[in-house]
Amino acid sequence: MQNELNQEQIDAMVRAARSGGADAGKAKEPKVEPWDVRRAGQIRREQLQAITALHEGFARSLTHSLGAYLRVVFAATLVSAEHLTYREFLERVPETTYLASCRLEPMGVIGALQLDLKVALPIVDLLLGGEGKAFAVTREPTEIEEQIVESVARIVCRDLGAAWQAVNLQVDFEKRVGLADAQRLMPLGEKTLSLSFEITMLEVRGGLNLAVPVSVSHALLRKISAESSEHLPRHRGCWRERVKRCVLDCPFPLELGVDGLTATVGELTELVPGYLLPLRRAVSKPASVLVAGVEMFTATPSRCGPTRAAQVLQPVATEETDADEMKLQGGTKP
């Protein structure tokens, strides 16, 4: 059924359109929100895309690994990747769940792994010969069930370490921890990289969550940025060319001097302003151009307008240059 407007409603709409609306002349008040300092350092959009692409690959790897291990249709899907404080991560963890710690080497830091029991217990049932169907979770897992879930957690750690191989990080499973012990794995206010995955297996659906120190996130982003810069197109306006042009204008230490000069002690004791000191070196013999203290060329003192200058004659042959020339000629130095 369509709504029909009467003439008064139509006239009101026309008047509002002509006047720009009743609220057009009113200035909109700015929207003010309290700023939380913990929100500083959030992942930027382009960084989030890189982190997401990396861990989507991890999710695919985990899908194949656990699917082959459990011999059922298994799927892991990345839901979110974000920076959270460790306290915020724990607030999202159910009271009854499977929590474990893992160590990241060689950084020597600790991470947390959380798997919903509505996924963990059907996996246990499946590995013990059952059908792996979903059921209500009202209890903690037994010691035997913990050992079986631990085998799954080790596969998660192994595949995560393979995904982070670019930064040479190894993820080692440590042990299952209770919620109280989990609060001591990291400072509650520490910023973490929180990764959330959805696990789907047969009729079961639940969550897998990981929290690692934000330093891991920074290491991954640095590596991703470095790899991206290596694949940038080399064109005239690229940053390498700009750096080269800037370096060309940088001042560099250079000296024009004569080495090997000697004078007697008697001559040095008679030195006074205006005294002419003989240096016992032929005028025709050139001086040396020293670049950063290394003799590079021979030159003669000169003048360029009102400033001193040096006329470069030839490069100075070093022992390394002589040796290279002899190798090219197939000979040896005498």
Give the least confident one: 72-76, 209-213, 259-263, 300-304.
259-263
Positive or negative: CA dihedral 275, 281, 282, 286 = negative
Express each pLDDT in 130-161 by its tens digit: 888 877 777 888 899 999 999 999 999 999 99
- Name the more confident of 89 and 333: 89
Provide mean pLDDT across the span 110-129.
92
**Strands, DSSP E only, in the chain?**
74-85, 98-105, 109-115, 170-176, 191-201, 204-213, 254-257, 287-291, 294-304, 307-315
- What percent of the chain has pLDDT above 70? 79
Q: Is pLDDT of 46 > 80?
A: no
Q: Do 197 and 209 touch, CB atoms closer than 8 A?
A: yes
Confidence of residue 51 (pLDDT cuts 50, 70, 90): confident
Q: Do 97 and 115 touch, CB atoms closer than 8 A?
A: yes
Provide mean pLDDT across the span 293-316.
85
Strand, coil or helix: 14 = helix
Confidence of residue 17 (pLDDT cuts 50, 70, 90): low
Q: Is pLDDT of 327 > 60?
A: no
Q: Which residues contact 19 (CB under 8 A, 6 or more apart)?
A: none
Q: Is pLDDT of 21 > 80?
A: no
- Name the more confident of 26 and 214: 214
Specify the DSSP element, H or E, that contains 10: helix 7-19
d(CA 81, CA 85): 13
Q: Go through the domains of the chain in sequence order and give each one's CATH number.
A: 38-134+143-230 (3.40.1550.10), 284-334 (no CATH)
Provide mean pLDDT across the span 24-46.
58
Q: Is pLDDT of 40 > 70?
A: no
pTM: 0.56
Tally Cβ neighbours within 10 Å of residue 16: 13
d(CA 154, CA 144): 16
In degrees rounded to 5, what are phi and psi of residue 323? Answer: -65, -40
Give the least confident one: 9-18, 36-45, 210-219.
36-45
Confidence of residue 171 (pLDDT cuts 50, 70, 90): very high
Exposed, middle or buried: residue 120 (CB in 10 Å: 0-12, 13-18, 19+)? Answer: buried
Express each pLDDT in 190-207 by its tens digit: 999 999 999 999 888 999
Q: Is pLDDT of 266 > 70?
A: yes
Please give the pLDDT value at position 12. 76
- Name the more confident of 329 and 111: 111
Please give the pLDDT value at position 195. 93
Q: For helices 214-230 and 45-70, give the axis angle rounded to 10 degrees.
A: 100
Q: For helices 45-70 and 143-163, give the axis angle rounded to 10 degrees.
A: 130
Q: Is pLDDT of 24 > 50?
A: no
Q: Is pLDDT of 37 > 70?
A: no
Q: Which residues contact 157 (CB under 8 A, 6 or more apart)?
A: 102, 113, 171, 172, 173
Q: For residue 184, is it left (φ>0), alpha (ψ between -120 and 50) or beta?
A: alpha
Provide mean pLDDT across the span 271-300.
83
Q: How would DSSP label each residue in 219-231?
A: HHHHHHHHHHHHT
Q: How would DSSP label each residue in 94-147?
A: -SS-EEEEEEEETTTEEEEEEE-HHHHHHHHHHHTTS--------S---HHHHH
Strand, coil or helix: 89 = helix
In degrees rounded to 5, what are phi and psi of residue 211? Answer: -135, 125
Confidence of residue 1 (pLDDT cuts 50, 70, 90): very low
